Structure 1
Amino acid sequence: MKLDKRFIIIFIILVTEVLGFSLVLPFLPFMAQDLGASPFQVGLILSVFSVFQFVSAPIMGKLSDSYGRRPLLLFSQLSTFIGFIILGFSKSLWMIILSRIVDGLLGSNFSIAQAYLSDISSKKNRSKTFGLSGAAFGFGFMIGPAIGGLLSRFGYGLPSFVAALMALITILTTFFFLPETIKRKRKMNLKIEILKFSDFKSYLLDSKVAGKLRLFFSYVLSHAIWVSSFAMFAERQLGFNAVQVGYLLTFIGLVSIILRGFLLGKIIDLIGERNSQITGLAMVVLSMLGVSFAKDFYSALFFIGFFALGSGLLRPLLMASISKSVSPKKQGEVMGFTNSLGSLSQIIGPLLGGYLIANFFPGSLGLAAGLVMIIGILTTLKGKKISLSGKINPR
């Protein structure tokens, strides 16, 4: 698959979207606690973004199916830009919450960008396409915590303004260089079509995609429990500050880039998709359980690296298989729904993580995340044997 300018632009858009949550992870818990928030209230603040993403992602995705990807991408990027500006000027908890609402409600870049990727790739190459988009996720998760952690030493506003600048660059790049992929746009009745939640129910009952959605949900929920409250875990169990938290989270992104961008296809060619999936699942579970007992920087680094490898194998396979389970006309809708499931997990995850940190020992965070993943695997296997269609080709 040739990397044309469209993929490069979408890569940048995806990176900026990931920055929406990865950049704030190292410092937002400390920032909110400095303003008087409890660990559970920190979880609430982190959940606000995902609450509104849960509502908006399928709507924005379905709108893009009818009115085109490009105008919806521009609109969502503008909202991300405004959200970061508000966060940069935040001096109270309500301003932080407002910034997360603005970005979450209207800044649903991810579902639209993934639908765009589906538009420009064949079914044969779609798994590889989503593997490379996974590299964008990894890159965003690498530079986000690095920016957030390091620049927060000079004030919490600076990393937010840097992220706003990056969002502005994506707006200009999309406006001047990104072509539209939906050639025949059609009007739709918003009240009837967009809010037709029976469409979502049909996905959950569809044997072709339901099992993949269940597994995806359990994965992103366990990920959200662990990552969202990791800063508070690291502060209490390891004695870390925002900069050190940023280093560890940056390491996750670095490993993800290397794996998803360069090694994913080769690994699957070597051991097969089924074994790659089993390996990824096992690594995610074991790393989440293991990090609960980490006592220093290096033991935490080991388990975090283990998690990044497992996650790098698992996520792109799931996204690609979900995409290939529906028709081309439904790509925006199913990607929006999938990202809404991700947002739902990121609503529950920070709340549960904050509650665990506030009421139990710090290591309960990883134990709970690992347990959720195990339950998800068992539920999926009971409902239907997992199958992934297609082959991920090496780069």
Structure 2
Amino acid sequence: MNRSLFIIFSTIALDAIGIGLIFPILPALLQDITHSHQTALYIGLLGSLYAAMQFLFSPVLGALSDRFGRRPILLLSLAGSTINYTFLTFSHSLVLLLIGRIIAGMSSANMSVASAYLVNITKPDQRTKYFGLMSAMFGAGFIIGPILGGLLGDYWLRLPFIIAAILSGLNFLLAYWVLPESKTAELSNNPVSSLNPFKAFTSLRSIPNILPLIATFFILSGTGEAYAVCWALWGHATFQWNGFWVGLSLAAFGLSQMLVQAFIPQHTSKRFGDRNTVLIGISCSCIALFIMAFAQQGWIIFIIMPLFALGSIGTPSLQALASQKVSPEQQGQFQGIIASTISLASMFAPLLFSTLYFQFQSKWPGAIWLSVVMIYLLALPILIRSLKPNMQPSK
């Protein structure tokens, strides 16, 4: 593995550790600040506000990375993350937490720019493998982050934010001193008008059969928000998990996902094709969600973690399919569009799932997972259309 790949994967892993640190303790922090039983709704509000800012700024940052290079935009994003975590450390009101999430959303471009960076330095037939490794690095970060966050948060709620700020700062320094630029001179042809986040979507009309694929990103990303909003709340309500056990469960998922993403996607893609790999992943997710909905003992969740992680094997294949639908000089903008599509889903999904969980929590918290299965089933025609064989990347 060359130096550029090593640094970009390290950046993703450190970013995941920082994110994972705050997951187990966010509900407790909100409860401590608001003294309210509507924690689920506040988590949804924070998630939606973050996504709204990301929706507006991701295409801008992606297009800027096409025009000025991947490296400076990635550095800008990492600096914003450091400022955000530092800000959240000293927040003692819901308003300050909301401002912190606005800052985070405005500067969040790590994944989209890293994806464009990866496209620049890899061959088309290698992208499924390296997108899988990128997801594996994110999973590796989630092994360390949640456990550390749970332990530190049980000691002091603010401590995980301090550690996250330190890690983000180290991430910035690592990228600043070591990461080279990946974009060559001929890849700087995007006009200034491409900085408009809404105008960027009009270019999709010139890419055949891409809209169903974008819709698939929207659906899969929206359902994924259920875990971010409800996991810690559901674990506490169903199994009486504290911060440590919530963190341990997330770490178990991170370990399972790391192993799955590191070794399985490239083989399933070659054996079954990218289309079928995505469908296999969705099927695994639905089975795991059904079991989770009815689980009454916490150990069951740890047993099904490998199956749950298999639900993510389609993500690299979906990214590989999408990456080959645009020219190299548009990769940054297109990856920004994908990030904005994900953010658009994330604007609405947290509010949807937090509202549903608020209704379910007193009688059956696990019902939230059946709602995710229902969305998969209702969206199945769109998913199948987006993955039809004639959308397979050329060999």
Q: For structure 1, which runs of at least 5 residues remain unmatched after alignment?
A: none
Map of 2:358 onto structure 1? 358
Shift of 1:188: 6.6
Report the Cα distance in structure 1 between the residues aligned to 2:63 and 2:105, rounded to whole angstroms: 17
Distance 1:71 1:196, change over 3 A: closer
Between the aligned partners of 1:264 and 1:383, the Cα distance in structure 2 is 19
Asked if the contact 2:137–2:258 (Cα under 8 Å) also holds between the matched residues in 1, the reply is yes
Aligned to 2:376: 373
Confirm whether residue 349 of structure 1 aligns to residue 352 of structure 2. Answer: no
Cα distance, 1:347 vs. partner? 2.3
Q: Is the 8 A contact 2:226 2:372 kept in 1?
A: yes
Residues 302 and 220 of structure 1: CA distance in aligned 2, closer, same or farther (over 3 Å): farther
For residues 1-395 of structure 1, what are the structure 2 equivalents within 5 Å? 3-19=1-17, 21-36=19-34, 37=36, 38=38, 39-184=40-185, 186=188, 190=192, 192-195=193-196, 197-203=198-204, 206-311=207-312, 313-360=313-360, 361-382=364-385, 385=388, 387-389=391-393
Which amino acid in structure 2 is aligned with residue 137 of structure 1? F
Superposition CA RMSD, Å: 2.2
The whole-number CA distance in structure 2 between the counterparts of 1:73 and 1:329 is 18
> What is the CA–CA distance in structure 2 between the aligned matches of 1:199 and 1:282, rounded to whole Å?
33
Q: 1:383 to 1:68 in 2, by over 3 A?
A: closer
Please tell me whether the aligned partners of residues 284 and 308 of structure 2 are also in contact (alpha carbons under 8 angstroms).
yes
3-state SS of the aligned residue for 1:169?
helix
The number of equivalent residue pairs is 387
Cα distance, 1:133–1:382 mapped onto 2, change above 3 Å: closer
The 3 A distance-change label for structure 1 pair 208 and 188 is: closer
Q: Say if 1:291 and 1:304, in contact at 8 Å, map to a contact too.
A: no
The Cα shift of 1:259 comes to: 1.2
1:199/1:141 CA distance change after superposition, 3 Å: same
Q: Distance in 2 between matches of 1:364 and 1:203?
A: 37
Deviation at 1:42? 2.2
Deviations 1:40-94 (A, max 9, x none): 1221123222221111111100000001111111111111011111112222222
Query: Does the Cα contact within 8 Å between 2:274 and 2:318 map onto a contact in 1?
Result: no
Greater Cα shift, 117-126 or 381-390: 381-390
Percent of aligned positions with the same letter in both sequences?
A: 30
* TM-score after normalising by structure 2: 0.91
Say which SS state the counterpart of residue 379 (structure 2) adopts. Answer: helix
Asked if structure 1 preserves the Cα contact closer than 8 Å seen for 2:257 and 2:306, the reply is: no
Structure 1 counterpart of 2:384, which letter?
L
Corresponding residue SS for 1:26: coil
2-side partners of 1:345 and 1:230: how far apart? 18
CA contact (8 A) 1:79 1:106 kept: yes
Alignment check: 8 A CA contact 2:274 2:321 kept: no
Query: Structure 1 residues 130 and 124 mapped into 2: Cα distance closer, same or farther (>3 Å)?
Result: same
Does the Cα contact within 8 Å between 2:4 and 2:179 map onto a contact in 1? yes
Letter in 2 for 1:231: A
Residues 29-48 of structure 1 show CA distances to partners (whole Å, capped at 9, x for unaligned) of 12102222412122112322
